[in-house]
Each structure stands twice: as structure tokens, then as C-alpha cells.
Amino acid sequence: MKKNILFISAAIIFAGCSQVPSSPLSQEELPAIFPDNIGITVPANIAPANFLIDDDADKYLTTLQSGSAQVRISGKKVSIPAKEWRQLLNNGDITVTVYEKKAGSWSRLKPFMIYVSPDQIDNFISYRVIPHSFESYQRLSINQRDLTSFKEKVIYANDMVMKDGSRQCINCHYFKDYKTDYMQFHARQYLGGTIFYKNGQLLKLNMNTDSTLAAAVYPSWHPTHDYIAYSTNKTYQIMHTVDPDRIEAFDEFSDLILYNIRDNAVSIIENSPDRLECHPAWSKDGRTLYYTSADYPEMKSTHEIVSHMNQVKYNLYSKPFDPDTRAWGPTTLVFDAAAIDSSLTWPKISPDGRYMLCCISTHGVFPPYQDASDLLLFDLEQGTRRYTSEINSPCAESYHAWSSTGKWVVLSTRREDGIYTRLYLAHFNDDGTFSKPFALPQRDPEFNRKFLYAFNVPEFTIEPVKVSARKIASFIRGSKATQVSFETKINQKQ
């Protein structure tokens, strides 16, 4: 109690002794705020969910009340001091009341709640920061954000090694089991290769072999053994003339490969000539590989694919796998998305193995550019599925990831302005529903409106990355890619 009294005093002092208006006019409407934090559920260890009051008034006062803890903040930007925010979170759900002074009189807008979940979120999230262009780019970086604060650091940025005129794309960073002892990402073009970090050691690999289609692309780290399933894709882009989706990214060819880390060798998982396979995802026990695949028997050229773009629909398949013998079983169709005129991509299985969250869109393999892309949740135990309307928006929802506890997901969405992908976090409830998602908190609540880079490929980790950006850059600059070998032996259980 004593502690709380001290805290309240401190909070009031901090807020410049702003007094709550004595007899404000009560309004029935909720305040317009950005980002939309009204009714969101946040984890008890998240950074302050700052927001902007998106309304013109002469003065503003916001109170945040949680139990006996109260914070008052004056001004249009509601930036909550970290210490006081932590106190609020510790006390449970937060009631937020916004007061506005217009034409000399104060009014109190309808209070709203920020619900606090006792489920902690993983402390770190890593993502790619990328300018919104299609082919040209200068700086790309993979950054790591501490979710308990606003601290962000660069894991690696391409301009650390680029010489003028050179180009390097970086993508598909991935961690094993939410820890950072094992990490990988791809560097393309200049000084390119797949960069591995393994227990303090860096490696650069050339995963393109004579017997595979191209370099490795989308990864899924095996949960128990030293394998990574990858798709290998030949991807192209083509632009819309007038559609607000603006671009189509598509695979002309794609297969699935398995990288055996110990032997430094790849083998084929699926390379059917009349199918496009992509987006591998291991089941919890590592004995089943889920992946997506589209049928395209009559489309043998880029031109044909382009002219039949809307007909390329990816279904969800699974394939049994024995991690000890590396033997694959027969393929099973899990979900026929094409039958409902849709395309399913990026399956991600919850850590408990029960749920699978996927993107579903009208066609193709690359949903970030499709406004129609939404998230679809499979309950693998019950054999049911549903559109997660509580976290979907009219704009594109794309890359998503489960937290290590399975209690939170991060999703990439363009809901704010239709063009810049932003990261939102949502609580996954025990009944298989999500709470209202909230924007990744930023120190400046206007950040998402003004930041002219997009975020993508968010991945949770429970610990910070253990290798410095400088070390990675020096390694990339100074090392040649080691060629992986190709294993011809394929075990197929029939």
C-alpha cells in the first residue's frame, strides 16, 4: 500500500501535476486514438502501449488507472513512463479515460480498457526492416526488438558490407526453438550465401547445387534433429497496371529440400515437375512435414503462369518423416484450399502442436501483396478450421509467428495504411480465439504513421541474439561460401 501511495505521488508529479477536470461533460463516444489500443489485451511484460489522441482539441488529459495505481498524462501524445506503466501492468486491467478541452470546456470521453494478460510474451522479436520498393533498395536490415522496452538493435544490415553499386538482399532469418544459439538467414547477390550461426560459430553456405533448383529459401528447423526443411524457389515479380495490390510475386518453379546440418548435404523432399511446393513447417514431434503445394500441369512458362495467375492455388499437404532414418512417407492432402477457390500459404504450427495458423488468399504464394489475404486457424486435434476474423482486417495479413508459449502471435498486417506492413501482437485464448491485436508498441505513438520502412518476417525468441552485427558483417565480407553437397539417396516409405 505504501509502495502504491509512493507510486501515485510519483506519477502525478511526473505528469506535471495535471488535475482531472472537476466536472467534465461526459461523452458516450470513445476517443479516436492511434494506434487503436481500445480494448486490446497486452502481456504483463510488454513495453508501454503509447498512443496518440487523434482528435483536435485545445487541451488533453489522459488518466490510466489500474487498481490503486494511476497515471495522468497531459497532451495529445500519451507516452507512458516505463516505470509507471510497469506498475499499472502489475495491478491488472487498465482503465483509460481521455479528457479533451474544446472551446473552454472539458469533456470526458467514454473510458476504455487495456486488458492485461498474465501470460508473458517472449522478450524478443526479430524482423526485417525494408523500404517499400519492389526491386531497388539500399538498406535492409534484420533487427531485434526487446518487447519489454523500446530497445532495438541491428542483427545484420546489408550496407555494412556493400560497396557502392553492389546489391545484397537479406531475408528469411530463422531461429531454432526460440533460442538464438542456432540462427540462419540468407544473403543474396553480393557476397551471398546462407549464413548460419551455430553455438558461436558462423558459416556461409552455398545451398544451390547442380541437382537442386536454386538456393534455399523458406526454412523450417526440425524440432529434434539437425535438419532444416527448405523450399527452393525461382521467384519472379510482375506489376499490376491499376490494381491496388500493385504486384504479384510468384514462383515459376519450386521444390522442397532437406538440409542435413551434420553432413552439410541437401536432399530432395518433393520436386514434382508439375507442382509448386513451398512453405515447409514441421509438426511438434518432427515426424510430419506440412507444406503447401499448387498444381500447374498446363503452365510451363512464366508467361503462362502470368496469364493464369489467378488459377495458381496452393493446398496444404503433409508428409510423414522418420528423423532417424530420414525416410519420407506418402503425401496426404490436408486441406484443399483450391476447392474453395483459395490459396493457402505459410503454415505455422503452435508450440503445443495443436493449432496451425496459415495465410489464406485468393491465389498465389505471396500474400503480403494481396489485400484479400487473411489468417486461417486449423485445430489439428479437432480437425476444424476457421477464419480468425477477430485479428483479420480488410488489408493484407501475412507472415505470422507463435510465441514460445503459444499464448501470443505476431502478425504482419497492412491494416493501418494499406501499404506499409506493420507488426501486431495478439493473445491466443484458451478457447482457441484471439484477443484484439495491438500494434507493436513504439516510443513515439506516431511511429507507424511516419516510419517509411516496412517490417516483415517477425520471429519470436526468448533471448537476445548472441553474435554482433559487426562480427556477422566481417564474416560475410571475409568468407567464401562453402558448397553443400547433394545426397541422392531418398528413402520413401510406401
Partner 1 sequence: MNKTRISGYIQIILPVLFLAALIIFSKDYLLQVEGRSLFLFDWFWIKDFLKTPAGPLSCLSLFLTQFLHIPWLGALIWVMLLTLSAVATSRLYIKESGYNALAYIPSFILAGANMSLGYLMFIMNSLGYFFGPVLGYLTVILAVTVCRKIRTASGLGLFTVIWGVAGYWFAGYYAFAGLIAAASDLLLSKRDKKEKTVFAIISVAVIILSPLLLYGLTTYNLQQSWTLGLPTALYQETRFRTFCPVIAATLIPVLLPFLSGITDRQSRHPQLIRIAVIVPCILLLFLSWFKDVNFNAEITMIQATDDLDWNKSINTLHDLSSRADKKKDYQPTRIMVLLKDLALIKTGRESQQAFAFDDGGMKQKKSHDIPMVLQIGKELYLHYGIPGFCHRWCLEETGEFGWSYSRLKYLTMASISMNDRTVALKYLDMLDHTLFYRKWSRQQRQICYNDIQAEKTAPYDLILPLVCYDDQLLEDIRGCEYALEHHFLETSSGKATPLYDRIALFWALKSRNATAFWTKFLLYIESSDITKLDRYYQEAAYLYSHIGNNKTLMSLPYDSNTKELYDSFMATMQKYATDIDNLNDARRIFPVRLRNTYYYYYFFVRGLESF
Among 324, 452, 489, 492, interactor with partner 1 by CB under 8 A: 452
d(CA 436, CA 472): 38
Task: Characterize 328-361 residue by residue with b for buried, 16 or more Cβ atoms within 10 angstroms of its Cβ, and e for exposed.
Answer: bbebeebbebbeeebbbbbbbbbbebebbbbbbb
**Least gap, CB of 257 to partner 1 (angstroms):** 29
* Alpha-helical runs (H) found in 35-185: 82-90
Element (H, E) at 13: helix 2-14
**Least gap, CB of 469 to partner 1 (angstroms):** 5
d(CA 179, CA 161): 26
Is position 446 an interface residue for partner 1 (rule: CB under 8 A)? yes
**Least gap, CB of 170 to partner 1 (angstroms):** 13
d(CA 464, CA 178): 10
Q: Which stretch binds partner 1 (CB under 8 A): 54-62, 64-72, 113-121, 449-457?
A: 449-457
The closest of 349, 353, 399 to 375, measured between CA atoms, is 399
Is position 469 an interface residue for partner 1 (rule: CB under 8 A)? yes
Element (H, E) at 249: strand 247-260
First to last CA, the chain: 68
Closest CB to partner 1 among residues 75, 353: 75
Is position 16 an interface residue for partner 1 (rule: CB under 8 A)? no
**Least gap, CB of 277 to partner 1 (angstroms):** 23
List of residues 6+ apart from 44 with CB closer than 8 A: 89, 90, 116, 117, 118, 119, 120
- Cβ 312 vs Cβ 365: under 8 Å: yes
Q: Which stretch binds partner 1 (CB under 8 A): 114-122, 314-322, 412-420, 457-465?
A: 412-420
**Least gap, CB of 155 to partner 1 (angstroms):** 10
> Interface residues for partner 1 in 133-172 (CB under 8 A)?
133-138, 141, 154, 157, 159-165
d(CA 79, CA 66): 17
HSE on the CB side for 400, CA within 13 Å? 36
The DSSP output letter for 104 is: T
Interface mask (CB under 8 A) for partner 1, residues 472-491, using x and -?
Answer: -x------------------
- CA–CA distances in Å: residue 453 to residues 37, 377, 449: 22, 29, 10
Among 224, 417, 463, 478, interactor with partner 1 by CB under 8 A: 417
Closest CB to partner 1 among residues 131, 330: 131
**Least gap, CB of 240 to partner 1 (angstroms):** 5
The closest of 197, 119, 123 to 464, measured between CA atoms, is 123
Is position 243 an interface residue for partner 1 (rule: CB under 8 A)? yes
Closest CB to partner 1 among residues 198, 246: 246
Is position 8 an interface residue for partner 1 (rule: CB under 8 A)? no
Is position 132 an interface residue for partner 1 (rule: CB under 8 A)? yes
Among 447, 456, 462, 486, interactor with partner 1 by CB under 8 A: 447
- CA–CA distances in Å: residue 331 to residues 225, 269, 282: 21, 11, 14
Number of residues near partner 1 (by CB under 8 A): 43
Closest CB to partner 1 among residues 156, 230: 156
Closest CB to partner 1 among residues 450, 489: 450
**Least gap, CB of 447 to partner 1 (angstroms):** 8
**Least gap, CB of 23 to partner 1 (angstroms):** 36
Closest CB to partner 1 among residues 192, 223: 192
Is position 309 an interface residue for partner 1 (rule: CB under 8 A)? yes
Which residues of the shown chain bind partner 1 in the complex (CB under 8 A)?
Answer: 131-138, 141, 154, 157, 159-165, 238-244, 246-248, 306, 309, 417-420, 444, 446-447, 449-450, 452, 469-470, 473
